[in-house]
């Protein structure tokens, strides 16, 4: 791919993102309040404060989980065992966040297994500060609170911190630890040497968790619309039809997300974790701290329990008066159409995402200083689903004659189709594939590309003979990741799905507060199972690719 073609591709990418986001700012002046309480500056500040507080709580809890796992996988066990533990620890990323929140509610909700231990049976946890006087109190439910949202987000997002800490230690020079082990015990070396080496990874992981926590819609919405910005966007637009208030909240959270995005980029850049083609992990196993059995045990427990616990709690609570089988039979009977529709829609979107992401990854690979281009490509990852959904909805319903070349008519014709939702999902998830593909291409020996250039090969010939054999595990793995991420997506789907069949995520969002507990748990398992199967497929592909690479080396 030539530099000119790559630049043109980036321009198209930025234009597509700007087309979706422009209505947020341009529509603010002309939008009017139709009904509802509206939003004033004080309320927006309150919601923003709640969003920041909930995200900071998620960061703190996520680091409690991630630090022992990162230290264990990078310094306390051989590579194969570390890979096994990382496989378990990464699984929550492939479980839809609303499903994580429902599992947490089964533990800490009104009839939760652990609620009485925390509340003492006292029902005093209000959902929102704006509840009218005299409104009935929510039964003892600590999960329906800002700390409850922090806990659920930490379970869903802590793998991001694990990856950052593990990567930082794998890149760190182990010579200081080796020298310190000659004079000090492993525990002291861990505190005085290893933890400082991991500081950059801890900071990077904290910034990533904060970034995704403040823009995550599924968790606060599942927990009875917690009073945070991302939930208020949907309430104002989807419930009160108050476009102006929704846009004010959307612009605020986009600003907070942009600030978090910039902070994460600075930290990743400062620690070197943002440089895919930088660093050497060939000596990462030269030092392995002996002993520290308690830390190793904590790493195993904290790495395995979240994913296994989510599935176990949901399966255990998927029951009713007539037993487990009756609940599963009834749930499958009523939701099988949504399951098939979700899988078909997800597979089609994942294929498009893989194609777009592979081309974007190749374009990133052509940049000598790619950090700025990576930020442009990765920007949609932190855009909340409701924000993109509102932007697309306003764009699709422009007044006649408001756009040149009758573009308003062309966009209006798409309003009743799946195209807008598919486009939003591709925009959000293609960066995952792009960043993976770029990293794989940068790991490729430069001589391979130079030889194809000397032979006069075209871009497609180079891609088929050189790049694809290197990139295919990342492309397929990223495609499966996109499929898993789309299964529980609610923020954009609830605004853009046309009448007719719906997705499992939207059905779950509709039923979670009204259907029997057993049916919601069973539906949650149906929603997360395809994502975990996709994750298992991605892990198998990565392991097989590494095995083939090792065989070639030998």
Question: Given pLDDT bands bounded at 50, 70 and 90, which one contains residue 368?
Answer: confident
Please tell me the number of Cα atoms within 13 Å of 182 on its side-chain side. Answer: 4
Regarding predicted confidence, which is higher, 349 or 3?
349
Of 163, 144, 264, 251, the residue nearest 210 (C-alpha): 264
| Per-residue DSSP letter, 380 | G
Which residue stretches of 172-235 are H helix? 175-181, 186-189, 195-215, 218-222, 229-234
The share of the chain scoring above pLDDT 90, in percent, equals: 28
Q: Inter-axis angle of helices 517-553 and 97-108, to 10 degrees?
A: 130
DSSP 442-459: HTS-HHHHHHHHHTT--H
pLDDT tens-place string over residues 275-334: 554 444 444 444 677 778 899 999 999 999 999 999 999 999 998 888 888 899 998 898
* CA-wise closest residue to 478 among 530, 442, 430, 440: 430
pLDDT at 137 over 60: no
pLDDT band at residue 547, thresholds of 50, 70 and 90?
Answer: low
* C-alpha to C-alpha distance for 440 and 450, rounded to whole angstroms: 17
Segment 146-190, tens digit of pLDDT: 999 999 999 999 999 999 999 888 888 778 888 888 888 888 888
pLDDT at residue 119, as a whole number: 64
Residue 378 and residue 257: Cα distance in Å, rounded?
Answer: 12
pLDDT the model gives residue 64: 96
- pLDDT score at 13: 87
Q: What is the mean pLDDT of residues 134-146?
A: 64
pLDDT in tens, 12-31: 888 888 888 777 766 654 55
Q: Measured on CA atoms in the order 264, 270, 275, 281, is the torsion positive or negative?
A: negative
pLDDT of residue 138: 45
- Separation CA 488–CA 217 (nearest Å): 11
Interval 428-453 mean pLDDT: 83
**Count of alpha carbons within 13 Å of 450, Cβ hemisphere only?**
3
Neighbour count for residue 348 (Cβ, 10 Å): 14
Quote the pLDDT of residue 42.
87
pLDDT mean over 193-204: 89
Whole-angstrom CA distances from 293 to 56, 127, 203, 395, 528 are: 30, 42, 26, 57, 33
* CA 68 to each of CA 107, 159, 193, 210, 293: distance values in angstroms, whole numbers, following the listed order: 24, 12, 15, 19, 12
Among the listed residues 390, 107, 105, the one whose alpha carbon sits nearest the alpha carbon of residue 229: 390
For residue 36, what pLDDT band results from cuts at 50, 70 and 90? low
Burial 44-68 (b: 16+ CB within 10 A, else e): bebbbebbbebbbbbbebbbebbbb
Average pLDDT over every residue of 442-464: 77
User: With contact defined as beta carbons under 8 Å apart, do 17 and 379 qualify?
Assistant: yes
Res 281: pLDDT: 45
Given a cut of 70, whether residue 35 has pLDDT beyond it is no
pTM, rounded to two decimals: 0.88
Q: Residue written as tokens 């992401």?
A: 357
Q: Distance between CA atoms of 309 and 306, rounded to whole angstroms?
A: 5
Please tell me the predicted confidence (pLDDT) of residue 150: 96
Q: What is the pLDDT of residues 372-428, one digit of tens each?
A: 888 888 888 888 888 888 888 888 887 777 777 777 788 888 888 999 999 999 999
In this predicted structure, which of 239-243, 274-278, 428-432 has the lowest mean pLDDT?
274-278
Are 357 and 437 within 8 A, CB to CB?
yes
pLDDT digits (tens, 9 = 90+) for 474-514: 888 888 888 888 888 888 898 899 888 889 888 888 887 77
Q: Mean pLDDT across the stretch 255-270?
A: 79
Predicted pLDDT at 28: 55
Q: Which of 145, 142, 140, 115 is nearest to 129 (CA)?
A: 145
Residue 189, phi-psi category: left (phi > 0), alpha (psi -120 to 50), beta (remainder): alpha
What are the angstrom distances between the C-alpha of 356 and each of 12, 267, 351, 363? Answer: 12, 28, 9, 11
- The structure tokens 């904060």 sit at 210
Mean pLDDT of 55-66: 96
* Separation of alpha carbons 438 and 276, rounded Å: 8
Mean pLDDT for the chain overall = 83
pLDDT at 104 over 50: yes
CA-based radius of gyration for the chain: 24
Q: Residue 131: pLDDT above 80?
A: no
Specify the range with the lowest mean pLDDT, choosing from 123-137, 208-222, 350-364, 520-534.
123-137
Q: What pLDDT does 100 receive? A: 94
Instruction: Report pLDDT for 121.
Output: 55
107 vs 109, higher pLDDT? 107
C-alpha–C-alpha distance, residues 233 and 250, integer Å = 6
Taking the mean position of all CA atoms in its chain, how far away is CA 120? 35
Round to whole Å and give the CA distance between 445 and 364. 17
Contact status, residue 532 vs residue 95, Cβ threshold 8 Å: yes
Query: What DSSP state is assigned to residue 107?
Result: H
């Amino acid at each position: 791919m030539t530099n000119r073609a790559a630049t043109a591709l980036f321009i198209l990418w930025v234009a597509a993102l700007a087309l979706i986001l422009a209505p947020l700012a341009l529509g603010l002046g002309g939008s009017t309040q139709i009904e509802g309480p509206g939003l004033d500056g004080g309320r927006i500040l309150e919601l923003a404060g709640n969003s920041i507080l909930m995200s900071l709580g998620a960061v703190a809890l996520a680091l409690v989980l991630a630090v022992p796992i990162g230290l264990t996988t990078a310094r306390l066990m051989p590579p194969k065992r570390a890979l096994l533990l990382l496989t378990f620890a990464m699984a929550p990323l492939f479980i839809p966040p609303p499903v994580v929140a429902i599992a947490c509610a089964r533990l800490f909700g009104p009839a939760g297994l652990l609620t009485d231990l925390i509340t003492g049976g006292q029902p005093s946890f209000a959902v929102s500060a704006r509840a009218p006087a005299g409104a009935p109190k929510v039964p003892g439910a600590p999960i329906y609170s800002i700390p409850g949202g922090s806990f659920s987000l930490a379970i869903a997002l802590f793998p991001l911190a694990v990856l950052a800490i593990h990567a930082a230690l794998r890149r760190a020079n182990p010579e200081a630890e080796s020298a310190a082990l000659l004079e000090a015990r492993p525990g002291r070396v861990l505190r005085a040497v290893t933890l400082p080496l991991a500081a950059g990874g801890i900071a990077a992981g904290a910034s990533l968790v904060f970034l995704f926590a403040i823009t995550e819609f599924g968790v606060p919405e599942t927990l009875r619309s917690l009073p945070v910005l991302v939930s208020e966007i949907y309430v104002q637009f989807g419930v009160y039809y108050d476009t102006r208030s929704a846009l004010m909240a959307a612009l605020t959270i986009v600003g907070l997300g942009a600030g978090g995005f910039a902070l994460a980029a600075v930290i990743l850049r400062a620690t070197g974790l943002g440089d895919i083609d930088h660093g050497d992990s060939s000596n990462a196993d030269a030092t392995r701290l002996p002993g520290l059995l308690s830390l190793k045990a904590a790493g195993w427990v904290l790495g395995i329990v979240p994913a296994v616990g989510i599935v176990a709690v949901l399966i255990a609570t998927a029951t009713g008066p007539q037993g487990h089988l009756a609940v599963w039979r009834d749930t499958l009977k009523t939701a099988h159409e949504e399951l098939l529709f979700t899988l078909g829609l997800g597979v089609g979107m994942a294929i498009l995402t893989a194609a777009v992401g592979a081309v974007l990854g190749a374009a990133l690979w052509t940049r000598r200083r790619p950090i700025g281009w990576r930020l442009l490509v990765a920007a949609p990852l932190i855009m909340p689903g409701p924000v993109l959904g509102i932007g697309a909805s306003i764009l699709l319903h422009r007044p006649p004659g408001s756009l040149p070349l009758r573009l308003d008519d062309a966009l209006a014709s798409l309003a009743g189709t799946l195209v807008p939702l598919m486009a939003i999902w591709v925009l959000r998830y293609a960066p995952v594939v792009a960043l993976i593909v770029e990293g794989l291409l940068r790991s490729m020996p430069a001589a391979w590309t130079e030889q194809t250039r000397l032979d006069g090969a075209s871009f497609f010939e180079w891609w088929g003979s050189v790049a694809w054999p290197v990139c295919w595990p990342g492309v397929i793995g990223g495609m499966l990741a996109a499929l898993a991420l789309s299964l529980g997506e609610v923020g954009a789907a609830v605004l853009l799905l046309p009448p007719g069949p719906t997705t499992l995520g939207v059905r779950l969002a509709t039923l979670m507060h009204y259907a029997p507990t057993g049916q919601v748990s069973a539906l949650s398992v149906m929603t997360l199972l395809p994502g975990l199967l996709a994750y298992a497929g991605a892990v198998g592909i990565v392991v097989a690719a590494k095995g083939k690479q090792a065989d070639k080396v030998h």
